[in-house]
Each structure stands twice: as structure tokens, then as C-alpha cells.
Amino acid sequence: MPRRRGAFRPMTSTQRQLDEMQQRVAEDSLQAGSSDRELTEMKRRLIVERAAGVLYEKGYGRTSIRDIAAACGMSMGQLYHYISSKDDILYLMHRHSQEMWHQHLSEAGFDQITDPVARLEHGLRITIRYLSEQRDLYQFIFTESKYLDREHLEEVLEMDDQNVVGFYRHLLSLIPDTRLRGREAELAANLVSFICMFLPLRGWNLKLTDSTAVDEAVDFLVRFIFRGLGLDRGPTNGEA
Amino acid sequence: MPRRRGAFRPMTSTQRQLDEMQQRVAEDSLQAGSSDRELTEMKRRLIVERAAGVLYEKGYGRTSIRDIAAACGMSMGQLYHYISSKDDILYLMHRHSQEMWHQHLSEAGFDQITDPVARLEHGLRITIRYLSEQRDLYQFIFTESKYLDREHLEEVLEMDDQNVVGFYRHLLSLIPDTRLRGREAELAANLVSFICMFLPLRGWNLKLTDSTAVDEAVDFLVRFIFRGLGLDRGPTNGEA
Amino acid sequence: MPRRRGAFRPMTSTQRQLDEMQQRVAEDSLQAGSSDRELTEMKRRLIVERAAGVLYEKGYGRTSIRDIAAACGMSMGQLYHYISSKDDILYLMHRHSQEMWHQHLSEAGFDQITDPVARLEHGLRITIRYLSEQRDLYQFIFTESKYLDREHLEEVLEMDDQNVVGFYRHLLSLIPDTRLRGREAELAANLVSFICMFLPLRGWNLKLTDSTAVDEAVDFLVRFIFRGLGLDRGPTNGEA
Amino acid sequence: MPRRRGAFRPMTSTQRQLDEMQQRVAEDSLQAGSSDRELTEMKRRLIVERAAGVLYEKGYGRTSIRDIAAACGMSMGQLYHYISSKDDILYLMHRHSQEMWHQHLSEAGFDQITDPVARLEHGLRITIRYLSEQRDLYQFIFTESKYLDREHLEEVLEMDDQNVVGFYRHLLSLIPDTRLRGREAELAANLVSFICMFLPLRGWNLKLTDSTAVDEAVDFLVRFIFRGLGLDRGPTNGEA
DNA sequence: GATGAATGAGGCTTCATTCAT
DNA sequence: AATGAATGAAGCCTCATTCAT
């Protein structure tokens, strides 16, 4: 696999998967049809991961395709094999951000929780902490999305509504105590998803220097949301 | 209410005032020194108001100085008499947005309220409704600020911290019931200022078509914040 | 006399003369014809003196008419009454530089010297020291002249040939020992005038920090020129 | 002879070499790494040569990047692949001018001369004649250098001091007769380098129409310098 | 007369995208 | 297939000069 520019880069999981993929492609190029699509998907993942650094640092508008290609260790030509325009990268990052979140929820054992209130509490806790850790990515996603062209934008908004807001919409619907109905349920789901973005978007204002400070902030936010929703009994065990 | 830069001047019909100003300048050019500064201030206000349209529509990055000059009915040269760079416009809009908010608070009778809890409630209610009405402006301010160059950015962040967060910081400090201290007080002030931006930033997701729907949303948000802060008794009695 | 921008500026001789001039004009405006020309001449002198600072600092190309008008304490309109274009200032500075030099020669007692060799020696000594003191002005003149438009340029070149080179041409012609004839005489006069510019043009390379260092450099140059011309016996008295 | 930057490469017909280079690149793109750098170097040389015409004629300040790109037969975009700013061209021309001079010295057999006095004499003779022939280039270099931004300017001044003044500094140090020490040695080296610029900078004043006239001028200057340095015996005997 | 706001062409520089090699 | 040189429109900003007041 050609990687042109010197510096060693620790292999991300995507990178490893990509290697295996290309290996497979080389060995068995008969199933080219499906492999091509997988390869493309893999390369796109690689692009998103590698492009992230420059994009966070300089912002979407100030980062050139040259910069991105360099950061990806690709030629511009190769880059354009996997994306159709610069905007495409923004779209891919959006998709990536949601995939990452879902993956993280899953890895954190969210799926094993069955009690609705506990699901909400842990969903929030995991999410808020995670978004805070990935502040760069989610801040980027939030502030740059609006520059997508109409086509990409609609896709992204729908994705957002289905996956993100939908997540909370569903969680809340399982908790009868809240008495949120109709428009209020919708407001609540949107508001909760919004508050989860508080740390990425406003975190720089607080000085969350160490892990404890982040923990406290997460606690505060979860308790705030629970109380706001009228679920004061929520995070009952211990910390309310 | 802390306001850092010079005397506030209510200004809804900038154009009219500008005309009067130029009239006055023509008639009485002896006080040229002070008029110059006022004229500049007036023109800047005009620029901010006129530029707003294009900026909201296309975004800061995609709007050229030529577009802005055209929208302001000025030549580029004239525009640069009143601003020193494109970033300057962003800065002026920031300042403008804060002045507008303070003016609106004032016009809505906020200053006459003395009870701390009532002040908080009405401060929130007025602010949230107002930000929702001026969705374009505040969404723009929020998402574009990060593109300011370092110098302007620092000024803006400080302005924000002093005027906006400071507003809530002060309001909350007057309510002993919340038991918010130190880091939690800081978190709370920041979070409340953040939640007030919910409608401008996420409002498109809800369908707030009529005034009633907005009222309901405002109510919901105020109640959510009060409960979140542990002030459940707040909005129910007294003057809501 | 209206001077608009604050800071006090010690009155140059030109300034004083200008005041008297305007006084006279006010008192006796009947002789307007000749006074007008004198006033213009005086104002131009003032412009040249006041503009010098900005011009040296930023260079001709990077200094705007606004800068110059500000430095002169004039409005742009007034400035354009006395000059016809930006280039005109360059021309005026050239003329000024020659007038200053002649005046300095005269003040330094050059006119009283009759012995040809002594005249040459002192002419050089006075000139080189003077040009070194006025390094900014003469460096500016030298490096910017070539940007004059054709009309001004020709005038300047002719002025230079007549006044500057002509000075040395004449001095050398009075010294029979040099045996410089025809083309060599012309070369010598030009070369000597060129070497006099050494300190303004290359002085930054040497570290002429104190007056003694400048003295030594002047001595060195005069002796170099004398020897170069074959006039080794020249600066006989003392310092050769 | 001190030369600070990389190996020197004689280059009269840049275009021809460039063609060969591109040919080679096409044929053998494996050594792309090193070829890239060579190609860049070559293109830069081409730019310097092609830009020279417009630059001499209009001056650096009055020549636009568009003019330069057109003169180079390139698009503006391509031009900016090889230079990083307009100032860069000035810097490249400076470097070019020194390389050309060194090359010319070498081609004229300067390196074979061992006797210090003869080295000085021939160094001067070759240099003065050469600078006279390349009047446009060296006049340009001399008068425009001051417009470089600080970074480039410092580099250029250091280059000048090391290569040009250093050349004479070294030559003079080999001739014990001159008795130049310390500050005088420094003055002398600077002055000699300055006098060598006489023909490019003041030549237009003399009418050096034919080769004989130039020869005479060169002779005159060399003799003047020798006498000035107190080396009267120099050019007369030996190999003049 | 005196002012300085206004013009708008033109300055330098960047960059998404293509396409010859 | 893969490359990256090339394009050239468009970006932000400046400024000599004019002219309405």
C-alpha cells in the first residue's frame, strides 16, 4: 500500500482493516463488485480519520484539498477517487461522528441495560462524557454542517433527526413518569440532544483541566437534565 | 447590567438616524470632531443591519466583501472606511447582537423587576423569546464566531463572558436557594446561557409555526431550566 | 494657520518663513500674482520637509497620499493644490536635496576657499559628511528617482548632471595636475560624485556608531579619492 | 570563493536544460524525489530569466504578478508553485545575480590566477566589465533590494556581505602592502564593492557606446581603485 | 477656498478541480 | 491506475484622484 510521506503513523483500526481488505482484494479479485464498494468505504473511513487533525486545527474553510490529501497520505487524484467534492468530506465526517457515537455506546455496555430510567441515565452519562472527549470532532461537525450544499445538508439533517434526536425520543418514550406528550416530547428530545453538546460547544469557557472536573460536569449535566425532565428520582443510586 | 463599551444607543431605524446625522453634520460642521465618530458609529450600524441579510443566507465564509458592499449600497472603498477588515464585520455583529439583546431586555421592562426569582424567570422568558425571534442573527453569531482571527476572537469571547454569561452568573448569585457554589455556579451560568440558544440553533427541527407554539416552547424551556436548577417553586407563583 | 492634528511640531525655518509669508499675503493681497507663487513655493518646501519622515520610513511606494497629507498636517485637497501628482513630491524632494546641499556647502564656508586643491578637499569633506548625516534623504532620492515618469525623470537627470556632477567637473577642471582630459575628466567627475554617495547607500554595512567613526570614514574616502585621482599631495596639511 | 547555498550550476540556456529535465522526468519518474527539487530549481531559474525583462523596464513596484506570469509564459497559479510571494522573485534574482557573477569570474579564468595583486586586478577588471554588460540586472538588484520584507532582506544582506563584500575583503587581506587594518580594511572592501557598481548605477550618464569606451572606463576604474588603495605599482607591471 | 468621503480598478494570493502524462 | 502541475476565477484589500458640499 503506497504511503508516500515519511513519518510513521500508528496504525488505527481502520488502517488495519484496510490492509486486510486490500489483501483480500488482491487475492480474490473475482468478487470485485462488492469488494470495490467495501474498499471505497474503508478508504473513506481512513480519509475521515486522517483529515480530522487538519480540519479541527484550521477549520473547514481554511483547509485546502491539498492539505487534506497530504494529511491522508494520498495524492489529490486518489482522494478524488473516493470523494466527489470537498463537501463530501464534511458529509462523511458527519456520518462518521454518528457511527463513532453508536459504537461507543455499544462498547460502554449501554445495550445491556434494560431499565428505562437507567438506560436514560447511562445513555446521557456515556454520551456526554464521550462528546466531551471528542470535543474537536463534535464541535467541528456542529459549526461546519451548515455549509453543506443543499443535497448533503438534507441528508445530514435527516440522519441527525433519526439517529440522534431519535435516540432520546425513544428513550424518553419508555419513561411514563415524565408525562411528556406530543410537542413537549419532541421539545424534550431535541433539548436533551442539544444539552449533550454543551461541553463540546461551550467547554472552552469552563476550565475542565482534569478528569475529576469533567466527571463533576457530567454529573451536573445529568442531574440537571433529570430534574429538568421532572425525573428527580432518576439517578437515585447515590449521587442525586 | 454590565456593558463594557460606551453608552448604549437604542437604534431600530438606523437609516433614519443616519440621515438626520448627516443632515446635522452638513448644517453644523463645527463639531466635526465628535460628529465624525458618531457618523462612523452610525455607518457601522447601517453596515451591520444591511449586511445581515446576505450573511445569514450565504454564511460568513461564502459571502464576499463585494457582496457585503453591494448589500450595504456602498462601494468597497467606502465600506473599508468604516471597517478595517472583513473580520471586523463579524466583530461588529457580535457587539450589535449584545446591544440589541440588552435593549430588548430593557424595553421589555426587565429593569423594573426586583425580586430575584422573578428577575431570573423574566430574564429567561424575554431572552428566549427574543433570541427565537432573531434566530438568524444569533445562529449566525454562534456558528461563525470561531472564524475570527485571534485578536478579534479574544475580544469577542471576553465580551461574551462578561455580558452574556455574566448576566446569568449575576442573576443566579442573587438566588440563595439554588445552593450553587464555585464550579457548579459557573457551570450553571454557562449552561443556562447555552440553553437560551436552543431555539436559534435547533429550532428548525421543531415546527414552531405560530406564536402559540413559540410560547409553549418558551414556557417549556423556562420550566426546564427552573427545575434543572432546583427552583421548582419559581415560575408557578408570583408573576408568571 | 490651521494645523489639524494635535502633536506639537517644532517650527522649522520653513514654517516660520511660511507664517511670515501668509501674514504678508493677508496684509497686502494686491501683489497676489507674485505672492501666490512664493506661497506655493513655501508650501511645497513645507510639504517636502514634513513628508520626509513617512517617506523614509515606509518608502515611496508604500506611502499613500493620505499618509503624506496627514504628515503635512494638510487635507488631501489642500495638498493637491500645491502638487499635481504623487510623483511631483518625488521631484520636489530631488530639487530640495540639491538646494539643501548647496546651502550646506555655503554655510560651511566653502565659498571662501580659493585654492583649487583645498576647494576640492573641503568640498568633498563637507559633502561626504553632510550626505552621511542626511543619509535618509539621499538614500531615498537615489533609490526612488528611477520611478519618476519620463517628464520628471528627464528634468531630474539634467538637474543632477548640471548641479552635482557639474560641481565636481568644475572643481577638477581647476586642478591641472590630474591630467584628466575629455572622457577621463567626465568619468572622474561622475565617479567622485558617486563615491560621495557611498555612506548613504552602503553605510548601514559599516557600524558608524559615533562621530569619530564617521570622521575616520570621511577621511578615508577623501584620501582614497585624492589618491585615486593621482593627487597624493592633496590633503597635505596634517591629516593625510 | 565562499558560496553559501548548495552546488553551483552554470546555466546560460535555462530553457534547454529545462526541456531536457522534463524529458528525463517523463522517461524516468522513479527518481521523482530528487527530480522534483531540480525541476523546481530549473523553473525558478526560468522565472528569473523571463521576468527580468519586465522588471527592468517597469521596476519591481510597478510590475504586477500578472505581468510577471505573462512574461514567464505561465499562469499565475503555476508561478505560485515555484515562488511563495512576489518578494521571493526579488530574492531569487539576487541569488541569481551572485551565481552569474561567480560563474562569470570562473569562466574568465579568475581561479587560475595565484598572485594576490594580479587576482585583485583581474577580479576587478572582470567584475566591472561584467557588471557593465549586465547593467540592467545589477541596477535592478541594487535599487530594488530595499523593498524586500524583513525576512528576505536579512537573508539578502547576509548573502551580499558574505559573497560580494567578502570577496574583496578576502582579496585585500592577501595583499600586505595596503596596510589596511580593522575598520579601514572593512571600509575598503565595502568601497571597492561599491565602486564596481558605478557603471550599472551611473553608466547612463556617460556615453559608453562602443566596446572601446567601456574598456577605457574599466581601465580607469581599476587604476583609480589601485591608486586609491595605495597600490600604484599594481596594474602597471605583471599581467595588465 | 477647503475638505475628505467616495470611487472602483487593480494589487497579491489561494484553491477546487481537471487531465495530460 | 495514479499523479500533481496547471488553470484562472475569485478572494480580500489599497489608494491616487476627484468633486459635492
Q: Return the number of CB contacts < 8 Å for C and D.
A: 88
The separation between CA C39 and the C-alpha centre of its own chain, rounded to angstroms, equals 22
Place of cell 602592502: D177
Contact B224 A194 (CB under 8 A): no
Nearest-CA distance B213 → chain A (Å): 9
Higher-scoring residue by pLDDT: A130, C13: A130
Nearest-CA distance C77 → chain D (Å): 25
Chain B partners within 8 Å of A138 (Cβ):
none
Is residue A30 pLDDT above 50, yes or no?
A: no
- Closest nucleotide C1' to the C-alpha of A76: F4
Is residue C233 pLDDT above 80, yes or no?
A: no
* CA dist list (Å): B124 to A214, B110, B130, C21, C92: 27, 10, 10, 70, 67
Q: Residue A76 CB closer than 7 angstroms to strand E?
A: yes
- A32-83 CATH: 1.10.10.60
Residue C15 backbone phi and psi in degrees, to 5: -60, -45
CB B143 within 8 A of CB B202: no
Q: Give the three-class secondary structure for B170.
A: helix
* CA dist list (Å): A41 to A12, A46, B211, D76: 15, 9, 46, 37
Residue B173 backbone phi and psi in degrees, to 5: -65, -20
C206 touches chain D (CB under 8 A): yes
Interface residue of B227, B229, B236 to substitute, partner A, most A CBs within 10 Å: B227
Q: How long is the CA C9 to C1' F14 vector, in angstroms?
A: 29
CB A196 within 8 A of CB A127: yes
Protein-covered nucleotides of chain F (CB closer than 7 Å) are: 2-21
Q: How do residues C130-176 score in pLDDT, each as one tens digit?
A: 999 999 999 999 888 877 777 788 888 899 998 999 999 999 988 87
For C10-28, what is the mean pLDDT? 54
- Give the pLDDT of residue B118: 93
For C80-99, what is the mean pLDDT? 92
CB-based burial label for A187 (10 Å; 0-12, 13-18, 19+): buried
For C44-71, what is the mean pLDDT? 91
Is residue C4 pLDDT above 70, yes or no?
A: no
In chain B, which residue's Cα lies nearest the Cα of A147? B59
Is residue C113 pLDDT above 80, yes or no?
A: yes
Q: How do residues A50-70 score in pLDDT, each as one tens digit?
A: 999 999 988 888 899 999 999
Residues D229 and C196: their CA atoms lie apart, in Å, by 17
Interface residue of A199, A202, A212, A225 to substitute, partner B, most B CBs within 10 Å: A202
> DSSP readout, C120-143?
HHHHHHHHHHHHHHTHHHHHHHHH
In chain A, which residue's Cα lies nearest the Cα of B200? A194
CB-based burial label for C29 (10 Å; 0-12, 13-18, 19+): exposed
Higher-scoring residue by pLDDT: A224, C205: A224
Chain B partners within 8 Å of A178 (Cβ):
none
- Give the pLDDT of residue B209: 85
CB-based burial label for A157 (10 Å; 0-12, 13-18, 19+): middle
Q: Which of B186, B191, B204 sits opposite A198 (nearest CB)?
A: B191
CB B171 within 8 A of CB B116: yes
Q: How long is the CA A61 to C1' E17 vector, in angstroms?
A: 16
D238 — alpha (psi -120 to 50), left (phi > 0) or beta?
left
Chain C partners within 8 Å of D220 (Cβ):
184, 187-188, 191
Contact C195 D190 (CB under 8 A): no
Q: How long is the CA A64 to C1' E13 vector, in angstroms?
A: 14
What is the widest separation between alpha-carbon atoms in chain C? 60
CB B149 within 8 A of CB B87: yes
Architecture of domain D13-28+86-229: Orthogonal Bundle (1.10)
Q: How do residues D98-130 score in pLDDT, each as one tens digit?
A: 999 999 999 999 999 999 999 999 999 999 999
C230 — alpha (psi -120 to 50), left (phi > 0) or beta?
left
Q: How do residues B106-148 score in pLDDT, each as one tens digit?
A: 999 999 999 999 999 999 999 999 999 999 999 999 988 877 8
Residues D103 and D83: their CA atoms lie apart, in Å, by 24
Is residue C119 pLDDT above 70, yes or no?
A: yes
Residues C220 and C239: their CA atoms lie apart, in Å, by 10
Chain D partners within 8 Å of C206 (Cβ):
183, 186-187, 190
**Strands of A59-121, DSSP E:** none
Residue A151 backbone phi and psi in degrees, to 5: -60, -55
Q: Which three cell numbers stand for residue D58?
A: 517597469
Q: How do residues D206-221 score in pLDDT, each as one tens digit?
A: 888 888 999 999 999 9
D148 touches chain C (CB under 8 A): no
Is residue C201 pLDDT above 70, yes or no?
A: yes
For C169-189, what is the mean pLDDT? 85
B202 touches chain A (CB under 8 A): yes
Contact A228 B224 (CB under 8 A): yes
Sites in chain D below the pLDDT cut of 70: 1-37, 178, 233-240
Residues D179 and A46: their CA atoms lie apart, in Å, by 71
Higher-scoring residue by pLDDT: D32, A109: A109
- Give the pLDDT of residue A198: 96
Q: Which of C202, C220, C229 sits opposite D184 (nearest CB)?
A: C220
Query: Residue C10: which pLDDT band, with cuts at 50, 70 and 90?
Result: very low
Q: Which chains sit next to A, with 3 or more Cβ pairs under 8 A?
A: B
Q: Which of residues 179-208 of A touch strand E (CB under 7 A)?
A: none
Is residue A106 pLDDT above 50, yes or no?
A: yes
Query: Residue A122: which pLDDT band, with cuts at 50, 70 and 90?
Result: very high
- Give the pLDDT of residue C30: 45
Out of A21-30, A178-187, D3-12, pick the least confident. Answer: D3-12
- The residue ranges of every structural domain in chain C are 13-28+86-229, 32-83
- Closest nucleotide C1' to the C-alpha of C87: F16
Question: For D112-167, what is the HEC assignment?
Answer: HCCCHHHHHHHHHHHHHHHHHHCHHHHHHHHHHHHHCCHHHHHHHHHHHHHHHHHH
Contact D195 C190 (CB under 8 A): no
Contact C217 D62 (CB under 8 A): no
Alpha-helical regions (H) of chain C: 13-27, 32-58, 65-72, 76-82, 86-107, 116-133, 135-144, 150-159, 166-173, 182-195, 198-202, 211-228
B6 — alpha (psi -120 to 50), left (phi > 0) or beta?
left
D153 touches chain C (CB under 8 A): no
Contacts for B159 with CB less than 8 Å, ≥ 6 apart: B4, B94, B95, B98
- Closest nucleotide C1' to the C-alpha of B79: E6
Nearest-CA distance C161 → chain D (Å): 8
Sites in chain B below the pLDDT cut of 50: 1-15, 18, 21-34, 236-240
CATH topology identical between D13-28+86-229 and D32-83: no
Q: Give the three-class secondary structure for C231.
A: coil
Nearest-CA distance A178 → chain B (Å): 12
Contact C183 D213 (CB under 8 A): yes
Chain B partners within 8 Å of A216 (Cβ):
183-184
Residues C121 and C218: their CA atoms lie apart, in Å, by 11
C61 touches chain D (CB under 8 A): yes
- Give the pLDDT of residue C18: 57
Q: Residue C81 CB closer than 7 angstroms to strand E?
A: yes
- Give the pLDDT of residue C153: 84
Half-sphere exposure of C48 (CA within 13 A, CB side): 25
Contacts for D176 with CB less than 8 Å, ≥ 6 apart: none
CB C224 within 8 A of CB D191: yes
Residues C95 and C105: their CA atoms lie apart, in Å, by 16
Q: Which of residues 64-93 of D touch strand E (CB under 7 A)?
A: 64-66, 76-77, 80, 84-87
Q: Which of D59, D161, D224 sits opposite C146 (nearest CB)?
A: D59
Nearest-CA distance C17 → chain D (Å): 35
Place of cell 546555466: D11
Interface residue of D214, D227, D229 to substitute, partner C, most C CBs within 10 Å: D227
Length of chain D: 240
Chain A partners within 8 Å of B149 (Cβ):
none
Contacts for A83 with CB less than 8 Å, ≥ 6 apart: A44, A47, A89, A92
Q: Whole-number mean pLDDT of chain B? A: 81
- Closest nucleotide C1' to the C-alpha of B25: F21
Q: Residue A64 CB closer than 7 angstroms to strand E?
A: yes
Chain B partners within 8 Å of A224 (Cβ):
188, 191, 228-229
CB B113 within 8 A of CB B122: yes
Q: Which three cell numbers stand for residue C173?
A: 577642471
Protein-covered nucleotides of chain E (CB closer than 7 Å) are: 1-21
Chain D partners within 8 Å of C181 (Cβ):
none
Q: How long is the CA C64 to C1' E10 vector, in angstroms?
A: 15
Contacts for C215 with CB less than 8 Å, ≥ 6 apart: none
C209 touches chain D (CB under 8 A): no
CA-nearest of C61, D136, D100, C144 to D92 is: D100
Can you give the pTM of this predicted structure?
0.77
Q: Tell me, what DSSP letter sits at residue C12?
A: P
Q: Whole-number mean pLDDT of chain A? A: 82
Q: Which three cell numbers stand for residue A103?
A: 459504537
